[in-house]
A = this chain, B = another copy of it.
Amino acid sequence: MAFTTSPTGTPLSSTPRTRLGRSKERASDDRGDLYDILDAGLICHLGVVADGGPMVVPTGYGRDGDTLYLHGSTGARSLRATEESDVCVTVTHLDGIVLARSVFHHSVNYRSAMIYGRARLVTGEEERLTGLRVLTERLAPGQWDYARLPNRKELAKTAVLALPLDEASVKIRRGGPVDEEEDYDLPVWAGVLPLVTQWGTPVPDAALREGIDVPVHIGGRR
């Protein structure tokens, strides 16, 4: 199954909630930036309004073209809440700590996307499988074609939600500190402390059958 062609030409919509009030220079309305951030992430933070208050749940996601897919147990409170309110899905990459000459100008380098909208419960069997496939492939590329696929019973336990990638706010900060003019003379080190996330060595399950090597797509023989 091919991925939908990404309409990178369509800018992201600007609405009162996606328009940045501050730090406008960090905003991007480039759909390509949004997709890059989503395609580099492993989990999102899903925000819903539940019983009148906010609830922020870390969860997996996947993207197929201009649709974001979420999933969860059919009984989960956060998923039930999406029937009653919009959602806000935030994906954040923290790339480094920006150390300035003054405490006030300390900052972080990051790439973040906030996506707003009403999630739709996916009912069509083909789209449900597409959603679960991109969800699996985001977290564990190659596993959809390698592990046992969901059976009827497992599919019945899983709710799949679709969120259109229409209304989004993308923020990116890169580079060194910006200090007050008079602080550049201070005898204080300034710069960026980069944060690097890497895969470790795969740890086999204690119950792994003998003779099964780590597949290349997981990290074997790389």
Interface residues of A (CB under 8 A from B): 16-17, 21-22, 42-43, 45-58, 60, 73, 75-77, 85-90, 92, 94, 96-97, 99-104, 106, 108, 110, 112, 114, 116, 132, 136, 139-140, 143-144, 146-151, 154, 158, 176-177, 183-209, 212-215, 218-220
Contacts and interface: CB of A to CB of B under 8 A. Distances in A.
A218 B148 CA distance: 46
Nearest to A193: B202
Given A22-B75, A193-B199, A199-B194, A186 B148 contact: yes
A42 B107 CA distance: 12
A60 to B, nearest CB: 7
Contact of A189 (B75, B77, B185, B214): B214
A110 B60 CA distance: 12
A193 to B, nearest CB: 5
Q: Report whether over half of chain A's contact residues are helix, strand or loop; otherwise say mixed.
A: mixed
A191 B205 contact: yes
Contacts of A185: 209
Q: Which 5 A-B pairs have the closest CB atoms?
A: A194-B200, A47-B56, A47-B54, A102-B148, A45-B45
A76 B147 contact: no
Contacts of A102: 147-150, 154
A97 to B, nearest CB: 5
B55 A148 contact: no
29 contacts: A17-B51, A17-B53, A17-B55, A43-B108, A45-B47, A45-B58, A46-B56, A47-B88, A49-B49, A53-B85, A54-B86, A54-B88, A57-B90, A96-B203, A99-B143, A99-B218, A102-B149, A103-B147, A106-B140, A106-B143, A176-B206, A187-B209, A188-B212, A189-B214, A190-B205, A191-B202, A191-B203, A191-B205, A194-B202
